[in-house]
């Protein structure tokens, strides 16, 4: 009260890069199911031609957000509310549908069923070009046409990296979630691990946290389960006999002198992750060869073992 108004501030076109319509004020019209073209009707703006990446068949659209990225491309994000997925009953899950996943540097992920997912190492691939453009940008004259040109090239390169990385993670997480009904990961402290400067770039290149987050929500949507176990010594213990086989990161083959098992180091870790979950969470004990094994029967066997021990 009583204060004198100041001068109006300059409002750059880059100040605002998004607008959100909550609940109403928008409508998406899909012209034809055979094409991906449509019309987005926005209140006080009008009709906008739109390319629809996927048709929305289920769920209710709650909000609409129109965004502009760093290179001037416009996108529409629609928030859709879906009904909760029906969880697969645990008694119907078989032992072979429990999958252990070991995330790594050489391979993005190795599954306990033997499936390997390659690490595209995209950050290393784009790093040189991005560093060159960053150097040119730092040396260019401020507010010059050349600086704006370099900045746009850099933004394009960084956007290409982000989109390619996201695409590869979506493909990898889809493959992992489709492989089983209970997906087991190590409960890794990724933030702490990247403090190691020797491994930080490799861990960031794999985007382990994003991969596990994607698997988590995709499994939830599919009615499946994701679980996390203690990561200690999963790569050092033998998955067949449990003996400790010490090895550093340079040794990629697990070779046990106790039982003679020789397999890939990451596959051995994935098998240990799966076994650790089954032993600790399900009180797993080995079933007779001819007995049908499900997650429910594993739990029953564990309960019987505990009862015998207490007796």
Span between the terminal Cα atoms of the chain, in Å: 80
Taking alpha carbons only, the member of 125, 122, 89 closest to residue 108 is 122
The active-site residue, picked from 186, 220, 233, 248, is: 186
Torsion of CA 235, 240, 246, 252, to 10 degrees: -60
The active-site residue, picked from 77, 91, 102, 167, is: 102
Tokens matching residue 6: 């100041």
The active-site residue, picked from 47, 266, 290, 308, is: 266
Among this protein's residues, is 186 annotated catalytic? yes
Neighbours of 150 (CB within 10 A): 20
Contact by Cβ (8 Å): 205, 122: yes
> For the chain, what percentages of helix, strand and coil (3-state, to nearest 5) are there?
35, 25, 40
Among this protein's residues, is 102 annotated catalytic? yes
3-state secondary structure of 79: strand
Among this protein's residues, is 205 annotated catalytic? no
Helices 208-221 & 145-178 angle (0-180, nearest 10): 50
What's the rounded Cα separation, in Å, for the pair 13 and 196? 41
Rg (CA), the chain: 26
Catalytic residue ranges: 102, 186, 266
């Amino acid at each position: 009260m009583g204060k004198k108004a100041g001068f109006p501030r300059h409002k750059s076109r880059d100040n605002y890069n998004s607008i959100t319509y909550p609940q109403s004020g928008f409508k998406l019209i899909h012209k034809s199911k055979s094409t991906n073209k449509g019309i987005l009707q926005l209140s006080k703006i009008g009709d906008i031609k739109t390319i629809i990446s996927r048709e929305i068949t289920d769920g209710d659209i709650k909000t609409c957000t129109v965004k502009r990225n760093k290179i001037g491309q416009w996108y529409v994000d629609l928030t859709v509310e879906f009904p909760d997925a029906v969880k697969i009953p645990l008694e119907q899950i078989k032992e072979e549908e429990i999958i252990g996943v070991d995330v790594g540097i050489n391979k993005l992920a190795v599954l306990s069923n033997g499936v390997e997912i390659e690490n595209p190492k995209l950050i290393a691939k784009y790093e040189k070009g991005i560093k060159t453009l960053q150097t040119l940008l730092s040396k260019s004259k401020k507010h010059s046409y050349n600086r704006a040109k370099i900045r746009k090239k850099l933004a394009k390169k960084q956007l290409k990296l982000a989109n390619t990385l996201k695409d590869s993670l979506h493909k990898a997480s889809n493959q992992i979630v489709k492989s089983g009904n209970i997906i087991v990961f190590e409960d890794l402290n990724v933030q702490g691990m990247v403090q190691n400067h020797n491994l930080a770039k490799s861990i960031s290149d794999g985007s382990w946290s994003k991969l596990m987050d994607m698997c988590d929500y995709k499994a939830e949507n599919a009615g499946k389960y994701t679980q996390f176990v203690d990561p200690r010594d999963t790569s050092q213990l033998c998955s067949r006999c449990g003996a400790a086989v010490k090895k550093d990161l340079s040794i990629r083959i697990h070779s046990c002198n106790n039982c003679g098992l020789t397999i890939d180091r990451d596959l051995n870790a994935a098998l240990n992750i799966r076994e650790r979950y089954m032993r600790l969470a399900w009180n797993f004990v080995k079933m007779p060869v001819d007995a049908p094994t499900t997650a429910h029967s594993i739990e029953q066997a564990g309960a019987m073992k505990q009862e015998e021990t207490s007796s």
